[in-house]
Each structure stands twice: as C-alpha cells, then as structure tokens.
Amino acid sequence: QGFFLVSCREAFMRVCEHAFKMGKIFSMTLSAKYICDDPIGVRLLSALPYADVVFGYEDEARVLAKTQLRVQSTSLHAVLEAIRDTPKWNRDRPRVVVVTKIPERTTVATVDGIKEYKWKKPSKIIDTHGCGDALAGGFLAYLALGKNIDQCANAGLYCAYENLQQLGCQFPAKPSYNG
C-alpha cells in the first residue's frame, strides 16, 4: 500500500477515509524503508491515524519510528510502542502492529503488550517474495473470523512458512493448517 501512497496519495487517503467512515478495519503495510523515510514518510504518517493494523518488517518500522515519530531508542519494543500509540481516529479499535524479521520472528504489539512469535523454519527456503503478504493475509483472515491475536499470528506464520517453500506467493495444493 505504501507504493500506492507514493503514486496516488489522494486516492489512498480516500480509501483511508472511506474505511473510517464505514467502520471497516483498515490495515496498511509500511512497504519499504524509503517509503518510511524522508521525504515520503510524511505521507505515510498522514495515513497512520486511520490504520487499525500495521504490517511491516523490523527495519521499516525502525526507520518510520526514527524519522517520522522521532523515537530516539533503537529498542524494537520502543519502536513498536511508538507506532502502536500514535494517535488514531477510531479509538474504539486499538491499533495492532505486526513486524517481522524473516525467517526468525514476528513481533506483535497490542494494547495488552508486546509478544514475540518464533518462526518454524522450513528445511529449505525457496523464495521470500510474497512472504510478508502471506503472513498479513493469514493474520487478517483470522482477524476477520474474530479470532484472538495469538490465533491470528499463528495463522499468519503458517501462511508465511508455506510461502517460503514455494516459488512466488503460492501455497501447497492441500494446506495442513488446523488453527
């Protein structure tokens, strides 16, 4: 989504506003370090108040926190707390921040705190492209089903695990997730 924010900010902001007005869950990705950094990061920061769920990689989150939120600490927890606690339009739905370091861990910040989830490493990684998208898809699918954050994170991790073993963003013919 961050790439869309760069190419057509007005349309992106209309989507943000529509989701807010209609009470829909709005998620966004940090997309790339250069999108989180100056000068583009200011655009990302303008969309952040609409975000219910923010996905990204640890390095992207650190850049956003340092350059846009002015966080002095390099602690991952301080970075996640800063993103989680950034002002939000819909205060009835606290923000969830999900950041990943492939294929080591995914860390999730909620109002209840910060929790780390270890990745199950496949014996052979074929391709990492689409892995973050697969994680976000599994997480959001379970969120839409009303599952708790642990279940959402585990569903996302399963999707990412399967994706790492495929070429491109694919899954096996017969998934084996029973979460």
> Which positions are annotated as active-site residues?
133
Q: Which residues contact 7 (CB under 8 A, 6 or more apart)?
A: none
CA atoms of 166 and 25, how far apart (whole Å)? 30
DSSP 3-state of 57: strand
Q: Element (H or E) spanning 161, and its range? A: helix 149-164
- Angle at CA 110, nearest 5°, toward 27 and 159? 55
Range list of β-strands (E), the chain: 27-29, 53-57, 96-101, 105-110, 113-118
